[in-house]
Amino acid sequence: MTTDSVQTLISAMAEKIRHELQRRHLADPAMVGIHTGGVWIAKRLHELLEINLPLGNLDISFYRDDFTRIGMNPQVRPSELAFSVDDRHIILVDDVLHTGRTVRAAMNELFDYGRPASIMLAVLVERSGRELPIEASVVGRKIDLSLGEHVKLTGPDPLALQIQRTT
C-alpha cells in the first residue's frame, strides 16, 4: 500500500474519531500510541485532531505474554505519559489489531498509571485472528489475510503497509 494510501486512511480515521468523540460527548481526550507503529500513527492523528494534551506513548515490552515466542530480551524503551490517566478519556492508537494481545498489554500498563474514564481504541489495520475479545472503535482498513501472511507498517517517514509471507 502506498504512502498516499496510508495518509488517506489516517485522515479518514481522524474524521471517524471526531465523530465518535461527538457521539459519546467526550471532550479534551488524551492520545496514547503503542510503540512503535502506533506512535507513528498517533503523531499524525494528534496533529490532525489538534489535541491539547501532549501525545503519550507506551512501550509494552514488560506486559507481553508471548516471551516464549519472541524471547526474553526485548528492546525496552520508557513509556511517556505527561498527563494524569485518572478519569481521563484516552484514545489508544495502534497500527495493526490482530490477536488483541498487544492492546491487552497496553491497557494493563495504562491501568498501572491510573484509572481512565474510558479507552477508545483506534487502529490503522484490523485483520482476522482475534484471540481476545478486543474490538476497535475506529478502524482505518480491514484486511483478510491467508495463513502465513502478516501486515507490517514501515516508517516512520514515509509510512507504508506491506503484506509479508512467512516461510
Do 125 and 143 form a contact (C-beta atoms < 8 A)? yes
Q: How confident is the model at residue 147 (pLDDT cuts 50, 70, 90)?
A: confident
What pLDDT is attached to residue 74? 57
Residue by residue, DSSP assigns 102-141 as HHHHHHHHHHHH---SEEEEEEEEEES---SS---SEEEE
- For residue 134 the three cell numbers come to 478486543
Share of the chain above pLDDT 70, in %: 90
Mean pLDDT, the chain, whole residue set: 91
Q: How confident is the model at residue 2 (pLDDT cuts 50, 70, 90)?
A: low
Domain 3-165 -> CATH class: alpha beta
Q: How confident is the model at residue 39 (pLDDT cuts 50, 70, 90)?
A: very high
Do 103 and 76 form a contact (C-beta atoms < 8 A)? no
pLDDT at 36 over 80: yes
Q: Measured on CA atoms in the order 144, 150, 155, 158, is the torsion positive or negative?
A: negative
Neighbours of 14 (CB within 10 A): 19
